[in-house]
Amino acid sequence: MATEPILAPFDMSVGDRRRFVGLRFLSDYWAITKPEVNFLIAITTAVGFYLGAPSPIAWASLLNTVLGTLLVASGAGALNQWMEHRFDANMRRTARRPVAAARIAPIRALIFGALLSFAGVAYLFLTANRLASLLAAVTLASYLFLYTPSKRITPLCTLIGAIPGAIPPMIGWAAARGSLAPEAWQLFAIVFLWQFPHFMAIAWMYREDYARAGYLVLPSGDQRNHFVMWQTLLPSLALLAVSLIPATGAWRLAYSAGAFALGSSFLYYGVRFVFRRSNVTARQLLVASIIYLPVAFALMSLNKR
């Protein structure tokens, strides 16, 4: 395994090489927090706070809530890469991750992740409230100790992982209100159901990679196609129904029309994927899922206004 100085161009001065290594060092620690996942977590947390907060919005509290949640999510990402680095090394998609590629020692990833996680839970306790902090701790524990090991045990791991994945908007709501209302559970249901077609697309695209690493995210044999079909279509249909729960905002008719159009489009790509089952249709469904969630939450936020 090449060391960091060897990765630096040979025509660099000693000072430039040190800066290069330092930037690579920071980049690797940033990468193990899974920033691409944290972007959606930040959105769902912020929307949960915004929808749950009374007017006027306490923007400082919103920022504190998002920051605390991101600290927990970043710690969870680092700890996940620590737990799975040996398996990640066997997958083309993840082999270059910092811990899997031995650019960050596993013990350092463990310490880094634990510190971030503890800091996030404590920060929410101090700046938000006990309920938000508790929900963050439950998310962290269930993600690491239920979902992460389940990927090597059962294809139902998506169901298990969808629970902690859907809690961030509830953290935001709890931070704004100090309690949970039916609307908070609707947000939970939307993110919970959304994760199934989203992950089925990923699981199909990288099915050989997952199998090589020993992950049982999809069944083998003839059961695979039926599993993918039901895990994509049923949640997509349920997601469309849940998103159309009667709104009470000033723009409720516009919201309902927008939510129906958005959910129907998402369902369309799910149907295409199920009946064609190719990497092309899986990628199209993945892109549709990435677009769906922020747009759906933007519609809900506009409806509140």
Instruction: Name the amino acid, one letter, at 269.
Output: Y
User: How does residue 8 score in pLDDT terms, banded at 50, 70 and 90?
Assistant: very low
Percent residues over pLDDT 90 in the chain: 78
Whether 246 contacts 182, CB under 8 Å: no
DSSP string, 201-218: HHHHHTHHHHHHHT--SS
Task: Return the pLDDT at 167.
Answer: 97
Q: What is the pLDDT of residues 29-68, one digit of tens each?
A: 999 999 999 999 999 999 999 999 988 889 999 999 999 9
Classify residue 171 by its DSSP letter: H
Domain layout of the chain by residue ranges: 25-179, 181-305
pTM reported for the whole predicted model? 0.89
User: How does residue 24 score in pLDDT terms, banded at 50, 70 and 90?
Assistant: confident
Classify residue 217 by its DSSP letter: S
C-alpha span between 290 and 122 (Å, rounded): 30
Which CATH architecture group holds 25-179? Orthogonal Bundle (1.10)
Between the alpha carbon of residue 265 and those of residues 6, 260, 262, 281, 292, the distances in Å are 49, 8, 5, 14, 9
Q: Report helix, strand or coil for 119.
A: helix
Arithmetic mean of pLDDT, 221-246: 92
User: How does residue 114 score in pLDDT terms, banded at 50, 70 and 90?
Assistant: very high
